Amino acid sequence: MTARCVMVLGTTSGAGKSWLTTALCRHYARQGLRVAPFKAQNMSNNARVVAGGEMGSAQYFQSLAANAEPDVRMNPLLLKPEADTRSQVVLMGEVSRELSDMPWRGRSEKVWPHITTALDALRADNDVVVIEGAGSPAEINLHASDIVNMRVARHAQARCLLVTDIDRGGAFAHLYGTWALLPPDERTLIKGFVLNKFRGDASLLAPAPQMLQDLTGVPVVATLPMWWQHGLPEEDGVFDDRTCAAGAVSTTIAVVAYPRISNLDEFQPLKNVPGVRLVWARTPADCAAVDWIILPGSKATAADLAWLRSQGLDQAVTAHAARGGRVLGICGGLQMLGEALIDTQGIEPMDHGNAPGLGLLPLVTAFEAEKTVRRTTATFGRVEGAWSALSGMTASGYEIHHGLTVQHPAMAAKGDVAREVIPGLAWQNIGGHVLGCYLHGLFEEPAVLQALFGARAPTLETVFDGLADFLEQHVEPGVLDELIRKD
């Protein structure tokens, strides 16, 4: 059986492709269909560990919404930015040194066979494949080397929705301009326009939707109201301004937003916990009067540590710790909390690899060529002080890192050691308020949230069903069925 393919394209990045794809996955799965998501190429430092290696976090969540087992075929090419002009290339779940060193435009023909093989295999195994595009399909400077938008649509003969962010203004021009810049054979694949993030009375949009249809032959099939808290992590950016869940604020958490932050999606559950407020810390002032500071993962740990120092945030973090404030380092953040970073093999970009750490944990990290990529389940031993609620907790998550972290030999000889609360994975200082761990996904464990905050976030199942309900409420009747109708 060959699945019907529905594709979500956007007039810009951030138009709403990822969450709309997720909603479609859940909608079709609720019809009793076998559904899989697909995105040929994703550029993101948000990744998850699945069978076969790494895949983009957005496709991971989409697969869960589809009730499907996450699979690297759903995101065959993942680009993880290390600098403005360089990315680590992950092909079918594994890092490819050859592709990482290759010029951008030279990769297309190398990877296209892998993309079509992955997509065709998913089509053979499912009734519906929901495909997400990237950026805009009308980037005419990139059209000749396209492997993620209309080339995929043509290969799958996908029925495409084109979504735009009307809150930014110029939505009808974006839709018309995108459609007009496509070749005629690609225009015919666009079956509907979607207006996303609308505020106000939708009847006031008339007669623009009909005028647009008269120009293009394509109807506006949905006008989606602004929805601040749909519950999914942000795919391309940091938290929005509305980062406080319901109830009075009892805990304010600052997440340090360095340039190469990674795996920020794991903090989404904190946004949904009643009484918790998240803020991004880019200056020392952002760390004032907060209860926690989190140093998240990083795709370029030493370079981001250098940036942190240039902003004066190193002093803000150490001062917060000196006051007894809670500090949590995850993965790259853990490495920064130690005494030193050692890079003898040139693993870290931009020659920043050898550097002193923040000195809040007596640890040292040596970067290694081999990358650790694995799912992990671990149980905390006895945890003291501010993090004692984690004692005995079991958490399942994942590791994605270069580097081996151990006790600093000279400091250990003097008796200055970090308490190893999970062997080889998590340590805390003697005072108990600084904790570092390699395990991503800690806050996705309901029991952990309950232990730390006395409350839980909505489950992913609730989030996915809410997305599908919202879409079904606002899309024109019959449209979703028509998209997968057999010819």
Catalytic residue among 331, 401, 408, 474: 331
| Helix orientation angle between 313-322 and 301-310, rounded to the nearest 10 degrees | 90
Q: Is 91 exposed, middle or buried (0-12, 13-18, 19+ CB in 10 A)?
A: buried
Q: Which residue has the tokens 């929901």?
A: 130
Length of the chain: 487
Concerning whether 5 is annotated as a catalytic residue, the answer is: no
Question: 189 in helix, strand or coil?
Answer: coil
Q: How are beta strands 426-428 and 419-422 bridged, if at all? A: antiparallel
440 as an active site residue: the answer is yes
Residue of 319, 315, 324, 307 lying closest to 332 (CA atoms) = 307
Task: Of 254, 257, 363, 275, give the one whose Cα is nearest residue 319.
Answer: 254
215 phi-psi bin (left φ>0, alpha ψ -120 to 50, beta other)? alpha
Query: Can you tell me the distance from the alpha carbon of 417 to that of 421, in angstroms, rounded to the nearest whole number?
Result: 12
User: Taking a C-beta distance cutoff of 8 angstroms, is the pair 352, 306 a contact?
Assistant: yes
The residue from 155, 401, 440, 474 that is catalytic is 440
Rounded distance, CA 437 to CA 227, Å? Answer: 34
Burial (0-12, 13-18, 19+ Cβ within 10 Å), 67: middle
- CB-based contacts of 482: which residues, under 8 Å, 6+ apart? 191
Own/partner contacts of 404-410, CB < 8 Å, gap of 24 or more, are: 404/365, 404/366, 404/368, 405/334, 405/335, 405/338, 405/363, 405/364, 405/365, 405/438, 406/363, 406/364, 407/362, 407/363, 407/364, 408/338, 408/339, 408/340, 408/362, 408/363, 408/364, 409/364
3-class secondary-structure state, position 278? strand
List, as one string, the DSSP characters of 53-105.
EEEEHHHHHHHHHTT----GGGSSEEEEEEETTEEEEEETTEE-HHHHTS-GG
Phi, psi of 43 (to 5 degrees): -110, 105
Please identify every residue annotated as catalytic.
331, 440
